[in-house]
A and B are shown apart, each in its own frame.
Chain A
């Protein structure tokens, strides 16, 4: 037992230095050589910096809305609603979101709303919406900005991120990038 303790202690210290220290610093060193220097992917627009992968709240009518977030897009405290599928509170919340959406998008009928727009994401920071989620908002955005619907729809089409290598996973739209492009059109 006693010999085990000294061995365990020494071996643990070696592991600490090696795995917490050397391994971490090796990955960190690689980070200094790659785009973004390990600070996550950011873009600059009009002198402002944005994290491309981290969702932002978009709630104004002139922008495409992002998904509901249980943590209000707090990127320093991610989390989901953790509400169960049969929870009346959850169902009432979804119902309220549908009504809120219809109120702000009077040209849209209920069966056109996709579920991702009225449910909150896992981490509360989802940067994407579905393609239908953008299309269903096009009319509102076009009207409020005085753009024609076709050009807004074209803008959406240009921002569709295809599945990985064309065949794996989902199609989606990065809300931040779509909205930044939208602001440019108004110019």
Chain B
């Protein structure tokens, strides 16, 4: 069998094999059960609580959870703005990189605090090491925010009737120290052993064999890349992200980095089953997500391995598939696999340039971000899926004439309103943002000539991708877009902000309101939610609500490009 296909098969088998036990472990952490790492982490957590002035046993209701989450996130935004606009005189700046402009800092601060990691700068020249380490802190704690709030929703789903749902800070600290930290450390060491730099020295200057001077950027890369992959962050240390051979030196590191993209998002699904003691529900959710993922994956791998038909027409050999924007050490299959991994979870790191993907592969990566719930970002991926479950429960309840109930709680008008707002927000932001950008460009192409790196349909795709990536809190890009302009910095910043926090607030409000309701025991009249039939229903809701709303936009971009190349 083809070694490239074997490679990606290995990556998927490996991540599921690791995610199942990890899910159990995360479930134990949410349930406050004993784990074998307690001896190490109990004292550490106590230290965090003591220095932070936090009483982890103080119970909060869902509004207090959101209050704590939003306050701490706002503070991170303020700190980022300060650091990014003052890097030039702050320490750890051996390469003398400049501070950011206000609009770029706004975009970057929002981007990292919201776990998006959209980058309108290149790391080598746009950030000092101090800036990099600050952003790395958000990579840890914005991911921990997602995991923590997901833990709150799990708890709410578990409770029979309760208004209190544990302590936010406690979930947050436990998610950072017990989940992210140990795995990131292992990943960093694996990368280091394979040649990823970990140094505070500035650029290294060498003379090439042909006698040209070449400067090689270094930096504390290994520590950064491990958490970037693990926390569905995706913001690269270098401009070229994990295509850069320092950031991702060989096929082994590529396996590690790819596995890290999916690890926690898949584990969260199994953690749910552990917390609720409903394994079948976990498998139903995992099944729906996997079907969606595979449907996006297979055509993309196949298209990238076939290569660009326009180049094949020139009469050269095409055994490796489409190689523009790809690295020989990964090959087309592993690049396509990563592309779908990184877009269905809101990771956004790349090991190949998405702008140069063949047209339909580009469409599939965008669809992954538009749905944003096939595994999804750490914690928040499940929250998105939760909204689709609520919609599916309601619709199937209406279809069979039963009271819509989920886990023993009645779903009523209030929950449905919230779910609809969250579900419709995503297409509104993506289509509205793209429409605005296209309107400006079409009205005055001369003024905005610097935006698009590619003409025609593909140029439209560049704008659509950028807005989709912001709304999906993804962070990857069709990087040809000249995006470091006030318009794009502000538009993307605002969209990232809205699309991070409303989809957190909505599901937490639904779960909190359901938790407070009276528990109705399951009866013969209850709609079973852990069956294949209900899975199919959920998939249909996703396909109709999420995917189809974007079909017209995709037609104008990648699909039109595909047919124009025939």
Contact = CB atoms under 8 A, between A and B. Distances in A.
A164 interface: yes
A73 B356 CA distance: 19
B214 A91 contact: no
Contact of A170 (B136, B200, B328, B478): B328
Interface stretch (A33-41, A137-145, A151-159): A33-41
Interface residues of B, number: 122
Given A16-B137, A85-B356, A121 B327 contact: yes
A181 to B, nearest CB: 11
Contacts of B51: 10, 13-14
A146 interface: no
B317 A112 contact: yes
B564 A86 contact: yes
A168 B10 contact: yes
Interface residues of A, number: 101
B97 to A, nearest CB: 11
Nearest to B73: A8
A12 B72 contact: yes
Interface in A4-59: 4-16, 18-20, 23-24, 26-28, 30-31, 34, 36-41, 48-59
A63 to B, nearest CB: 7
A60 to B, nearest CB: 6
B217 to A, nearest CB: 5
Q: Which of A20, A82, A119 has the most CB of B within 10 A?
A: A82
A29 B241 CA distance: 24
B316 A30 contact: no
A90 B324 CA distance: 10
Contacts of B169: 7, 11
B52 A7 contact: yes
B245 interface: yes
Contacts of A160: none
Given A4-B72, A26-B185, A63 B210 contact: yes
A171 B137 CA distance: 37
B53 A6 contact: yes
Contacts of A36: 195
B31 interface: no
Contact of A114 (B141, B320, B350, B352): B320
B68 A4 contact: yes
Contacts of A176: 209
Given A27-B188, A115-B316, A80 B75 contact: no
A59 B216 CA distance: 19
A55 B292 CA distance: 37
Given A19-B136, A76-B203, A168-B251, A110 B53 contact: no
B197 A85 contact: no
23 contacts: A1-B67, A5-B71, A7-B68, A7-B72, A11-B53, A12-B75, A14-B52, A20-B137, A23-B184, A27-B223, A52-B195, A76-B216, A79-B239, A81-B324, A82-B325, A85-B322, A85-B357, A94-B324, A111-B317, A112-B317, A114-B318, A121-B325, A183-B209
Interface of A: 1, 4-16, 18-20, 23-24, 26-28, 30-31, 34, 36-41, 48-60, 63, 67, 73-88, 90-91, 94-95, 98, 110-116, 118-130, 132-133, 163-164, 167-172, 176, 179-180, 183
Interface of B: 3-4, 6-7, 10, 47-48, 51-54, 67-68, 71-72, 75-76, 79, 122, 124-125, 133-134, 136-137, 140-141, 169, 172-173, 176, 181, 184-185, 188-189, 192-193, 195-201, 203-204, 206-210, 212, 214-218, 220, 222-223, 226, 238-241, 243-246, 249-252, 254-255, 307-308, 310-311, 314-331, 334-335, 350-353, 355-359, 453-458, 461, 478-480, 561, 564-565
Given A16-B134, A78-B240, A83-B480, 10 more contacts: A7-B52, A18-B48, A40-B196, A53-B250, A85-B565, A86-B456, A87-B454, A115-B307, A115-B322, A122-B335
